[in-house]
Chains A and B, each alone.
Chain A
Amino acid sequence: MTLKDVKEILEAEVLVGSDQLEKPAKTAFAADLMSDVLAFAKPDSLLLTGLTNPQVVRTADILDITAIIMVRGKKPSEETIKLAEELKIPILSTRYILFETSGRLHARGVTGCIEKVGGET
């Protein structure tokens, strides 16, 4: 699956990175807490979140996240968009809630970047 497929499945709007839709998307992590993203997300995964501040982009950059999917119709501030453009991190916005976003992607073969915590697989 690529970001382009993700866009279609989620009927998402591409806010940043329309030139990067060929990037592969196999795994994902979902959280509204950047502390948890830092502790558990893995590189080359999608980040599904309801947060929209610039720190989401910074966190995604540090972790080599493929793209940020903002759920519940959230739209980032101008500042967040600017930073994402500068750091070349795609942002997609979907109206689906986090549960639906995760479920729809999982049903199409996107898996969690880890399954559960503690054992690290």
Chain B
Amino acid sequence: MAEPLYFEKSFDVEGGSFQNAGNVSGQIKGILKDLGVSTDIVRRVAIICYESEINIVSYAKRGTITLTVTDEAVKIETKDEGPGIADIELAMKEGYSTASAAVREMGFGAGMGLANMKKYADHLIITSELGVGTYVRMMVMNFQKILHPDLPSITL
């Protein structure tokens, strides 16, 4: 019987500077590939992770991204110290953005990121406290479990 898959790792993200923006998402993409996660899921996770990372870089002071992988799902959790989001429903709307000129200069700030994360994640939760920070939890279901039904379950 195959060993159940379980992998977890946290990464620090520095806010305010685009110097390393995307580095963590690139690493996470590589880890998922190495774990043998299917291409489609790797791509979806890479996109939602990168959108989150760019948001931390764009709006927060600092943050962490935690990757958890099992046979059933890939989970991306981000937690940042920053201004928080006053109206999450409004922030989710395509086109709503408070991005600075510096962020726009890098090619971001169209107000599409959160909507894109919602599109590619099977599950998305955002909580935020003004002046404290923002927490985002996203899951992409991993159907390797269906291909190997004898694998034990690990609930995230």
Chain A residues with CB under 8 Å of chain B are 32-39, 43, 51, 53-56, 58-59, 61-64, 87
Contact = CB atoms under 8 A, between A and B. Distances in A.
A39 B107 contact: no
Interface residues of B, number: 24
Contacts of A35: 107-113
B46 interface: yes
Is the contact region of chain A dominated by helix, strand, or loop, or is it mixed?
Answer: helix
Contacts of A53: 18, 105-107
B59 interface: no
B47 A34 contact: no
A55 B18 contact: yes
Nearest to A53: B106
Interface of B: 18, 21-23, 25-26, 29, 43, 46-47, 50-51, 105-113, 115-116, 119
Contact of A58 (B22, B43, B110, B113): B22
A37 to B, nearest CB: 8
Contact of B25 (A39, A51, A62, A64): A62
A34 B106 contact: yes
B21 A34 contact: no
A63 B22 contact: no
